[in-house]
């Protein structure tokens, strides 16, 4: 648990309560909630299992060792003993601190990998139903539900979704990023809501969550919620694009722990904690942990970036009329979904889905290959389309085409493109380069950084399978940013 809120606590008197809406206690539920409409579940654990058993080894690993190794001043020893961390047999995980004076044991678990992240153009919600510890004397208790990126802290990013100290029945939401000490995130304090009143959070289960919103990849946000009510938001503009991308535009792991003592509880009490009077046996109980994402607009080879040979045919919610049969693109800001229309099509999310949530979109009609001066045939079906560099290739016939952005020498086959018109002999075509379109430039190998000036569309993938996003100044070339369009294959980034 890297260094967290310290400096701002000097000005904490008095703590100001925040109205969160309903905060009544509730029993543990049998299962994590399903995803909201339009979202997908990417991780969940209901903590079902026999009383006294350890949590699922597939979902969690133990972080063990002395608290001094975590860099926060905490004094407990984290163990993998079920005396400290176990299932209660009723669908809850219990993490219990045991000890007295300066000798304590407790538990800390995290997902084995950095397994959750918001895709470019999408959102990530991470939530847990938790009952905070309620010891008779809670000085020094420090429960936390948080996330951490791989790599060097704090530039790798940390999101603290729930923290309380000293059994105050409070909650704080915080991010960490940049450099330490100081930097754009004011480390080792971070950018924080500060402790806020959390009525009933020691006597019942409440839902703590955060949403990382990347629907606008140049103005991303992290918002913290208690029982579904937002109470604090941090924006990309507060720390700068480069710092934000390094910290939050990738996957993170999920962590649950119960520390004892350290910088945060000591700053809150103006003392050294825990004390001789601190009660042993306080327990952090967790009903479920879940993570959900929206897919955003990181899309594959049949929904490639708009290549520049399109004519606007309708605004969103209008009707796009075409001559004969044409591919129609729907979207904005380099994020498009596609269909093939004959005569006309409504320009709506009902037809296309929503490639750019919250943004006004437009429809564009493509002149189907082999229109003169736009597309040129490069190969018949099952032959090889040869060219230099990386190009957008169309495959099909009779107004039915699929598109992919590919390196030189692609096979002109159904295996590469899918079959846009079964039973018909097809061909591949290369798009020409009008003034608004150039070929793609290879800018980075996988896990390196694609750097450029200004804002560009970036493609990430290999072998005709690409995901896309628009970025300013550069981007990490990783699955964490784009998703994985070609699992098990070394990938590259290209920009245009």
Please give the chain's pLDDT, 496 residues, in tens: 544 333 333 322 222 222 222 333 334 555 899 888 788 899 999 999 999 999 999 999 999 999 999 989 999 999 999 999 999 999 999 999 999 999 999 999 999 989 999 988 889 999 999 999 999 999 999 999 999 998 889 999 999 999 999 999 999 999 999 999 999 999 989 999 999 999 999 999 999 999 999 888 778 999 999 999 999 999 999 999 889 988 999 999 999 999 999 999 999 999 999 999 999 999 999 999 999 998 754 322 233 333 445 677 888 889 998 766 666 777 765 566 767 677 888 988 888 777 666 677 888 776 545 444 456 788 999 999 887 766 667 788 776 677 666 677 888 998 887 777 788 898 888 765 333 334 567 788 899 999 887 767 677 777 556 676 667 788 888 887 877 766 777 888 877 7
Alpha helix locations (H) across 200-240?
Answer: none
Query: Residue 441: its pLDDT value, please?
Result: 76
C-alpha distances in Å from residue 137, one per residue of 80, 225, 275, 496: 25, 28, 9, 61
Q: What token pair was written down for 315?
A: 């605004």
- Three-class SS state of 336: strand
Query: What is d(CA 274, CA 442) in angstroms, rounded to the nearest whole number?
Result: 55
Query: What is d(CA 357, CA 365) in angstroms, rounded to the nearest whole number?
Result: 21
Q: Which residues of 422-442 are buried (b: 16+ CB within 10 A; e: fewer)?
A: eeeebbbbbbbeeeebebbee
Contact (Cβ atoms closer than 8 angstroms) between residue 349 and residue 471: no
Query: What is d(CA 310, CA 312) in angstroms, rounded to the nearest whole number?
Result: 7
Q: Judging by beta carbons within 10 Å of its beta carbon (0-12, 13-18, 19+), is residue 393 exposed, middle or buried?
A: buried
Backbone torsions φ then ψ of 20, nearest 5 degrees: -105, 0
Q: Judging by beta carbons within 10 Å of its beta carbon (0-12, 13-18, 19+), is residue 245 exposed, middle or buried?
A: buried
- Which residue in this structure is represented by tokens 């990013």? 157
* Degrees to nearest 5, angle at CA 201 with 200 and 205: 105
**Strand 77-78 and strand 103-106: pairing?**
parallel
Query: What is d(CA 315, CA 363) in angstroms, rounded to the nearest whole number?
Result: 6
Strand partners, 105: 77, 98
Contact (Cβ atoms closer than 8 angstroms) between residue 168 and residue 161: no
Q: How many CB atoms lie within 10 A of CB 488?
A: 5
Q: What token pair was written down for 86?
A: 């176990």
Q: What is the dihedral of CA 342, 345, 351, 352, to 10 degrees?
A: 80
- Which residue in this structure is represented by tokens 């100081």? 182
Q: Which of 53, 58, 95, 56 is nearest to 78 (CA)?
A: 95
Strand partners, 155: none
* Degrees to nearest 5, angle at CA 126 with 124 and 132: 160
Contact (Cβ atoms closer than 8 angstroms) between residue 434 and residue 181: no
Q: What token pair was written down for 195?
A: 């402790």
Backbone torsions φ then ψ of 235, nearest 5 degrees: -115, 155
Query: What is d(CA 273, CA 261) in angstroms, rounded to the nearest whole number?
Result: 5
DSSP code of 245?
Answer: H
- Three-class SS state of 78: strand
**What's the gap between Cα 136 and its chain centre?**
38
Contact (Cβ atoms closer than 8 angstroms) between residue 171 and residue 196: yes
Q: Judging by beta carbons within 10 Å of its beta carbon (0-12, 13-18, 19+), is residue 372 exposed, middle or buried?
A: exposed
Q: What token pair was written down for 81?
A: 């003993």
Strand partners, 141: 260
Which helix (H) or strand (E) element contains residue 14? Answer: none
DSSP code of 187?
Answer: B
Contact (Cβ atoms closer than 8 angstroms) between residue 98 and residue 83: yes
Strand partners, 44: 290
């Amino acid at each position: 648990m890297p260094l967290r809120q310290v400096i701002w606590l000097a000005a904490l008197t008095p703590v100001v309560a925040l109205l969160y809406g309903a905060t009544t206690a509730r029993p543990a539920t049998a299962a994590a909630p399903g995803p909201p409409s339009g979202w997908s579940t990417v991780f969940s654990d209901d903590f079902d299992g026999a009383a006294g058993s350890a949590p699922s080894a597939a979902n969690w690993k133990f972080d063990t060792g002395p608290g001094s190794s975590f860099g926060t001043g905490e004094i407990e020893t984290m163990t993998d003993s079920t005396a400290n961390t176990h299932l209660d047999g009723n669908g809850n995980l219990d993490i219990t601190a045991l000890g007295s004076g300066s000798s304590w044991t407790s538990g800390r678990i995290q997902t084995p990998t950095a397994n959750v992240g918001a895709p470019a153009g999408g959102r990530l919600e991470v939530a847990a139903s938790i009952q905070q510890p309620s010891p008779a004397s809670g000085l020094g208790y420090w429960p936390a539900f948080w996330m951490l990126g791989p790599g060097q802290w704090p530039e790798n990013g940390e999101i603290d979704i729930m923290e309380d100290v000293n059994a105050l029945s409070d909650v704080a939401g915080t991010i960490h990023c940049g450099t330490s000490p100081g930097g754009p995130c004011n480390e080792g304090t971070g950018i924080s809501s500060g402790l806020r009143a959390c009525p009933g959070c020691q006597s019942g289960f409440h839902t703590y969550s955060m949403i990382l919103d990347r629907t606008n990849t140049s103005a991303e946000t992290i918002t913290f919620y208690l029982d579904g009510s937002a109470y604090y938001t941090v924006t990309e503009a507060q720390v700068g694009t480069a710092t934000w991308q390094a910290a939050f535009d990738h996957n993170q792991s999920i962590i649950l722990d119960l520390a004892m003592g350290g910088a945060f509880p000591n700053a809150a009490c103006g003392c050294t904690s825990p004390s001789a009077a601190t009660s042993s046996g306080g327990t952090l109980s967790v009903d479920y942990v879940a993570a959900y994402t929206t897919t955003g607009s990181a899309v594959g080879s049949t929904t490639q970036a708009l290549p520049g040979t399109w004519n606007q045919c309708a605004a969103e919610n209008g009707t796009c009329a075409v001559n004969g049969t044409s591919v129609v693109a729907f979207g904005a800001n380099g994020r498009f979904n596609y269909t093939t229309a004959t005569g006309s099509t409504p320009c709506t999310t009902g037809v296309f889905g929503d490639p750019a949530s919250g943004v006004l979109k437009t429809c564009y009609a493509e002149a189907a290959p082999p229109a003169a001066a736009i597309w040129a045939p490069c190969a018949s079906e099952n032959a090889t389309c040869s060219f230099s560099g990386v190009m957008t290739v169309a495959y099909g016939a009779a107004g039915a085409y699929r598109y992919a952005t590919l390196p030189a020498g692609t096979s002109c086959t159904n295996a590469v493109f899918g079959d846009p018109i079964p039973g018909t002999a097809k061909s591949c075509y290369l798009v020409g380069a009008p003034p608004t379109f150039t070929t793609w430039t290879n800018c980075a190998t996988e896990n390196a950084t694609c750097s450029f000036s200004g804002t560009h569309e970036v493609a990430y993938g290999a072998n005709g399978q690409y995901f896309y996003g628009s970025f300013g100044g550069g981007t990490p070339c990783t699955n964490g940013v784009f998703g994985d369009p070609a699992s098990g294959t070394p990938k590259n980034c290209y920009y245009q």
